[in-house]
Amino acid sequence: MEKKEFQAESKRLLDLMINSIYTNQEIFLREIISNASDAIDKLAYVSLTDQNVGMDRSDFAITLKADEKYGILTISDNGIGMTKQEMEENLGTIAKSGSLAFKKELDSDADIDIIGQFGVGFYSAFMVADAVSVVSRKYGTQEAWIWQSSGADGYTIAPCEKETPGTDIVLKLKADTEDETYSKYLKAYELRALVKKYSDYIRYPIKMDVEHQKPVDVPEGEEPQEQKFETVLETETFNSMIPLWQRNKKDITEEEYHNFYKDKFFDFEDPRAVIHFGVEGNVTYKALLFIPGRTPYNYYTKEYRKGLQLYSSGVLIMENCEDLLPEHFRFVKGIVDSQDLSLNISREMLQHDRQLKVIAANLEKKIKAELVKLLTGDREKYDAFFDSFGRQLKYGVVQNYGMHKELLQELLMFWSEKENKAVTLAEYVDAMPEEQKYIYYASGESRTRLSQLPQCETVREKGYDILFFTDDVDEFVVQTLMQFKEKEFRNIAMEDLGLQSEEEKKLAEETEKASKDILGFVKEALDGKVSEVRLSSSLRSHPVCLVPDAGMSFEMEKYMKRMDPEFKYASGHILELNADHAVFAALKGAIDSDREKAARYAKLLYAQAMLIAELPLEDPTEYTDLVCSLMQ
Ligand code: ADP
């Protein structure tokens, strides 16, 4: 029999398959089953117009058969089959377009990944088999052919017998080695698992005769003895065939969606929201997305991997396609199925990038729209969602130099002092009295502490709401946004509240001038601890507060310090005194009568300001000594 050479490029691919150390070699089954399914598609199509096919849709099937004795796995289909010439053309060469792209990739380190992600079709059989036979009979012809190869040295084609049209792929599996077992591909449970994993939604049944142990019935009249079992063969269908996402939305119950989600994504809680849609056009695809009901335990760690499952016409081609999801929506789970994405590496390499981008951009829009829908239509649900993933949205605003802030800002929520619940920025701004100029916020560790901030009183007195920031990222969000609906943000603990009238300002300046000596005295007494001492415009019942003199708030500095112990506090401190407070008068009195006592007052006031700002006292003992000395 004449032995024929593979084309040069096929040979390279084959070499790679044969010597593959690729851990994901199990995808060979997916590749062969997909080919079988395509072949059945073709015959099913012919049968629409050709009565002679004599087959119903229900007659089509893919059959697996394992011969453990000889180590042979056979995958059969009753599809269109191949003529001798087709065998030669299809199995001896790689599609021209793909070979080029593949060759390029081969020269890089990426080759192994490509196998897993996009498949390499029929040749992947050589990852697990050292001899492959293809027995095929084309529909409408009488003769059958057998194609045989044991690898790179070539293949033979010879006539053979086959009763019905279709194709058998016969794999003589490699012998098990220390590192690899191939015999597992003969076990029904392994094959079943692989079909479930990769080919569950193939539209034709994937069947196998599986051995089961059945209890033997005791013949009538005999005494029941020890239960006996016999081995029986039962035909099992491994795949469930119809993907949920291909079904009509209105025929699917919420429970079906929820069960699917829990099953597929290993969650025990129902999803918070389901997004199911199809797109037809330049890129046609179906998407079924879920917003989980809770934060995965590893969500904010490196372990968590974002991504969607990517299918091509019901066949899984990628478990975790990261490119489909933007970072800020990385909590979304789900699948995308597009017939435009080919299993085949060839077309894949050329096109997948552009198409995936189109899909990803669309998904982002849909997810945003769904969140807006929740926010406006089901606030309770949105609140719960925000509890789980709100922090992610905030990170999303900050990341990439605020590139996504327009998209995300309306989804954010912060705690409102007035409403005593989380509100959106739009809600805050809409509720602002007409004359209110700024969006006020305070940031710190807990809401209770924040509500006790001395500066709150002034804002509150005006009837203005204050947003309480308790997430580390909150202040960064505000710095990125800068403003919302043309309203700027003001940190009540560090910035001018902008509440004074011209007259009040003038008056304050005068008081400041008149108090120059007192302020100078305090500054000197504090001996370099503060960069400035001045009168405050934002204090009411409290005597002092501390304000950073650089752009960074104390909260931000604390955060930086937590992230990086080497971080040096950059801000100096400005001590602000309340000139209307009785303590201020006492201080003034002391300066006139007992300067040593007045110096102690100054130190005390500074310590109090530090405490209120939740900053560590340099010398707590000195502070308590001071208090004691005053009490005695
Ligand atoms: P691809 O399926 O991506 O085109 P493959 O290498 O997997 O590439 O297969 C090459 C070709 O061989 C297929 O396009 C098809 O024409 C043919 N083929 C493979 N398996 C079968 C089969 N079971 N029945 C009929 N034709 C097949």
Is residue 236 scored above 90 in pLDDT?
yes
Task: Tell me which of 97 and 225 has the higher pLDDT.
Answer: 225
User: Is the beta carbon of 288 within 6 A of some atom in ligand 1?
Assistant: no
Which atom of ligand 1 lies closest to the CA of 31?
7
CATH class of the domain comprising 502-631: mainly alpha
Q: Which range in 35-44, 47-56, 223-232, 463-472 is most confidently predicted, on average pLDDT?
A: 463-472
37 lines ligand 1 (CB under 6 A): no
pLDDT for 117 equals 41
Lowest mean pLDDT among 113-122, 458-467, 485-494: 113-122
Distance 90 CA to ligand 1 centre (A): 6
Nearest alpha carbon, ligand 1 atom 14: 90
With residues binned 3-state (H G I as helix, E B as strand, rest as coil), the percentages for the chain, rounded to 5, are: 45, 20, 35
Ligand 1 centroid–CA 256 distance in Å is: 35
Element (H, E) at 491: strand 487-491
Rounded Cα gap, residues 590 and 610, in angstroms: 22
The CATH H-level (homologous superfamily) assignment of domain 2-218+232-237 is Histidine kinase-like ATPase, C-terminal domain (3.30.565.10)
Q: Is the pLDDT of residue 219 over 90?
A: no
Tokens 């089953």, residue located: 33
Is 60 exceeded by the pLDDT of residue 105?
Answer: no
The owner of tokens 């009195």 is 589
Give the CA-trace dihedral at 152, 155, 161, 162, to 10 degrees. Answer: 50
Query: Is residue 482 within 8 Å of residue 488, measured between CB atoms?
Result: yes
Provide the b/e sequence for 481-496 (b: ≥16 CB within 10 Å).
beebeeeebbbbbbbe
| pLDDT exceeds cutoff 70 at 573 | yes
Nearest Cα neighbor of 97 from 349, 356, 355 is 349
Ligand 1 centroid – CA 37 distance (Å): 10
Dihedral angle over CA of 377, 379, 384, 389, nearest 10: 70
Which residue is associated with the tokens 């003895």?
225
Task: Tell me how far the alpha carbon of residue 427 lies from the centroid of ligand 1, in angstroms.
Answer: 59
Between CA 322 and CA 410 the distance in angstroms is 25
| Range from 179-188, 350-359, 405-414 carrying the lowest mean pLDDT | 350-359
Q: What is the mean pLDDT of residues 620-629?
A: 92
90 lines ligand 1 (CB under 6 A): yes
Longest CA–CA separation in the chain, Å: 121
> Mean of the pLDDT values across residues 366-395?
96
d(C-alpha 364, C-alpha 435), whole Å: 37
The candidate with the shortest Cα–Cα distance to 287, out of 328, 241, 341, is: 341
CATH level 2 (architecture), domain 412-491: 3-Layer(aba) Sandwich (3.40)
pLDDT band (50, 70, 90) for residue 345: very low
Q: Is 585 helix (H, G, I), strand (E, B) or coil?
A: helix
Residue of the nearest CA to atom 18 in ligand 1?
35
pLDDT recorded at residue 32 = 94
| Mutation probe of ligand 1 site: the residue of 90, 97, 134, 137 with most atoms within 8 A of C-beta | 90
What three-state secondary structure class fits 131? Answer: strand
Domain positions in the chain = 2-218+232-237, 244-385, 412-491, 502-631
Q: How far apart are CA 574 and CA 555, in angstroms?
A: 15
Residue 40 burial (C-beta neighbours within 10 Å; 0-12, 13-18, 19+): buried
**How close is the Cα of 122 to the center of ligand 1, in Å?**
6
Give the pLDDT confidence score for residue 348 in this predicted structure.
45
Our measurement of the distance from residue 526's CA atom to the centroid of its chain's CA atoms, rounded to an integer in Å, reads 52
Q: What's the CA gap between 482 and 458, in Å, rounded?
A: 23
21: CA distance to ligand 1 center in Å? Answer: 24
- The mean pLDDT value for 254-271 works out to 89
* CATH classification (class only), 244-385: alpha beta
Mind listing the pLDDT tens digit for each residue in 286-344? 999 999 999 998 998 888 999 999 888 777 777 788 889 999 999 999 999 988 775 54
pLDDT of residue 379: 96
pTM of the model: 0.70
Instruction: Tell me the pairing of strands 72-77 and 144-149.
Output: unpaired
Assess whether the region 2-218+232-237 and the region 502-631 belong to the same CATH fold. Answer: no
By CB atoms closer than 10 A (0-12, 13-18, 19+), residue 443 is buried
Q: Is 290's C-beta closer than 6 angstroms to any atom of ligand 1? A: no
What are the contacts of 294-298 at 24+ separation with CB within 8 A? Answer: 294/267, 294/269, 294/388, 295/331, 295/388, 295/389, 296/331
Task: Give yes or no for residue 98 CB within 6 A of ligand 1.
Answer: no
Computed on alpha carbons and rounded to an integer, the radius of gyration of the chain in Å comes to 37
Query: CA-to-CA distance for 177 and 180, rounded, in angstroms?
Result: 5
